[in-house]
Amino acid sequence: MTCCEGWTSCNGFSLLALLLVGVVLNAVPLGINLVEQDRIFQNPISCYEWWFPGIIGAGLMVIPATTMSLAARKRGCCNNKTGMFLSSLLNVITIIGAVYCVLVSVQALSEGPLICNSQVNGTVKCEFSLKNLSNIHSKSFNLQWFLNDSCVSPTGHKNSNPSDNMGASWKIPSSGSEEDRYRIVHFAVFLGLLLVGALEILCGLSQIVIGLFGCMCGVSKQRGRIV
């Protein structure tokens, strides 16, 4: 097995592992919502999971490139210049899906869980768009909803006054209250999806490079059967 085939096979196993992790992470808020609340479309944790960043972006859109890359292990359809070119081409779809996963996760981390934003725990409150992403800057992306003693103000809405937030005590939430559990789940899920998407982007870029290299330089030929 040449370095092209070996690297492609390694990328395939890496993408498979990241794909499974992304799907599981995306399903966590949905499962908790169904078990604790017995409702599907109302969730105090988040509603960005309904954009399916882990199931579609880091999951389904990664399957074609993962399948093609794993074929290199048995010297199958990747063991030729055309296969290497296709592996590079399919990883473009992987990168698009991974970028989508990262963007949704960034917006979810910036907004915080629904329990910190509104009394209405419905999916209508989660609007994902590039316009909303452009409004995120370093001052707003400070995770105060996670580090403050409580993310809920006395009126039940997110406190957006920076001077009031300065007086809050900073700590890592514990699991002693329902609010803290929701904050921990929201933070862990979307930080995990952010990392999954970033790693998939790196795997996709590396496979594009090695695939083009294998396409131009060729790969090892399968050994003929010795009679």
pLDDT by residue (tens digit) across 147-165? 777 676 544 444 444 444 4
Q: Where are the domains of the chain?
A: 3-158+165-217
Tell me the percentage of the chain whose pLDDT exceeds 90: 32
Question: Which residue type does 114 have?
Answer: L
pLDDT of residue 7: 82
- If one counts every other C-beta atom within 10 angstroms of the C-beta of residue 147, the result is 17
Residue found under tokens 């399948």: 67
- Band (210; pLDDT cuts 50, 70, 90): confident
With a threshold of 0.85, does the pTM exceed it?
no
18-63 pLDDT per residue, tens: 999 999 999 988 787 666 655 555 555 777 888 899 999 999 999 9
Q: Which two tokens stand for residue 216?
A: 């131009």
Q: Which two tokens stand for residue 156?
A: 């039940």
pLDDT of 115 over the 90 cut: no
Whether residue 175 contacts residue 181, with contact meaning beta carbons closer than 8 Å, is answered with: yes
Whether residue 43 contacts residue 121, with contact meaning beta carbons closer than 8 Å, is answered with: yes
**Exposed e or buried b for every residue in 91-102, given b needs 16+ CB within 10 A?**
bebbbebbbbbb
Whether residue 193 contacts residue 58, with contact meaning beta carbons closer than 8 Å, is answered with: yes
80-95 pLDDT per residue, tens: 777 778 888 999 999 9
